[in-house]
Amino acid sequence: MSPKVLIVMGSDSDCPVLEETAKILEQFAIPFEMRIASAHRSPRKTADLVEAAAGRGIQVIIAAAGLAAHLPGVVAAGTILPVIGVPMGGGPLNGVDALYAIVQMPAGIPVATTAIGRTGARNAALLAAQILALSDPTLSEKLLAFRERMACEIEEKDQKLQRRDK
Annotated binding site for substrate, which residues? Answer: 11, 14, 41
Quote the DSSP letter at residue 10.
Answer: S
**pLDDT (tens digit, 9 = 90+) per residue, 43-96?**
999 999 999 999 999 999 999 999 888 999 999 999 999 999 999 998 899 999
Burial 53-66 (b: 16+ CB within 10 A, else e): beeeebbbbbbbbb
Indicate the pTM of the whole model. 0.94
Distance between terminal CA atoms of the chain?
Answer: 53
**96 contacts 41 by C-beta, under 8 angstroms:** no
Annotated binding site, which residues? Answer: 11, 14, 41
**pLDDT (tens digit, 9 = 90+) per residue, 117-148?**
999 999 999 999 999 999 999 999 999 999 99
